[in-house]
Amino acid sequence: MAAGLLALGVYVPDKVLSNKDLESFLDTSDEWITTRTGIRERRISAPSEYVSDLALKAANNLKERYGEEALADVDQVIVATNTPDAFFPNTAALVADQLGLKGAAGYDLLAGCPGWLYALSQAAGQVEAGIARKVLVIGSEVLTKIVDWRDRSTAVLFGDGAGAAVVGPVAEGHGFRSFVLGSDGSGGKTLHMAALASSLPDGTRMGPAIYMHGREVFKFAVRVMDTATVEAIEKAGLHPDQISLFVPHQANERIINAARERLNLDWDRVVMNLDRYGNTSTASIPIALAEALDAGKVHEGDNLLFVSFGAGLTWAATVLTWGGA
């Protein structure tokens, strides 16, 4: 049995914070941010809005797009996030309850920005193995609640949002064709935030907000965006020329461009919306994919390439042949 994406929904908060707005309280400028990242604005969750709220709204948007029946037979919910409402109860269980998915298994997945792709791999494997009929996979983040708004190196990068997808059986020849997952804990010191411990095993001190060593993360990202995408394409038995659309993690325009050039893809085969949303971590790929669908850029039989990198350090890539539901 093959597994693929059956439905997709998204949600982003209404409040927009532009680079010009940041100039009023940070030692930065619109030109500095745009030149180095490609980001022009980002969405900010309301003070009372948390990951479960965004996740639920993305799932409800999915139902609006595909109908109530889209969630029929969903017996598992996975929420990939780095900003859960609580350690426990898990966010997925809260969302499942609000959606009326009584008895559905639910758990959160914490794997940095590639978390949504990690969750897709688990969902696909469980559908293909017959463990689950359908799995609701959500990437949801309220990263603006954990940034240090005095730190221009990180405050300018992140935004809030959520994307929800149903993974279920599809016709042979469609669905997920390959997954590449990896991690390197020795790089944890370059991107971190404390939870219970005050330091990492190597002694690196952590604080209550996101810390990132930008230059080191940039070098890591360029490298793994290259190696992971090439490996995923090869595992799928394809050539880069056969990739219809490249949907990368929306973190930095220069990183995306480096991967695009390595794959020899024209810009019209690349989805990029980070200028309007910033880095929404686990939500960035589903939000970008939904916009590509809405714009008519995705068609039956298209080979889509997803790739992401993030804290851990972690990375993931997958190739999906669209359709076949």
Residues noted as catalytic? 113, 249, 279
Q: What's the burial of 296, exposed, middle or buried (CB within 10 Å: 0-12/13-18/19+)?
A: exposed
Per-residue HEC secondary structure of the chain comes to CEEEEEEEEEECCCEEEEHHHHHCCCCCCHHHHHHHHCCCEEEECCCCCCHHHHHHHHHHHHHHHHCHHHHCCEEEEEEECCCCCCCCCCHHHHHHHHCCCCCCEEEEECCCCCHHHHHHHHHHHHHHCCCCCEEEEEEEEEHHHCCCCCCHHHHCCECEEEEEEEEEEECCCCEEEEEEEEECHHHHHHEECCCCCCECCCCCECCCCCEECHHHHHHHHHHHHHHHHHHHHHHCCCCHHHCCEEEECCCCHHHHHHHHHHHCCCHHHECCCHHHHCECHHHHHHHHHHHHHHCCCCCCCCEEEEEEEECCCEEEEEEEECCCC
Q: Report how far residue 171's alpha carbon sits from residue 3's, in angstroms, rounded to the nearest whole number.
A: 8
Q: How many residues belong to the chain?
A: 325
Which tokens in the block code for residue 81?
Answer: 């996030």
Q: Report how far residue 174's alpha carbon sits from residue 325's, in angstroms, rounded to the nearest whole number.
A: 8
Which tokens in the block code for residue 91?
Answer: 């966010």
Indicate the residue type of 264.
Answer: N
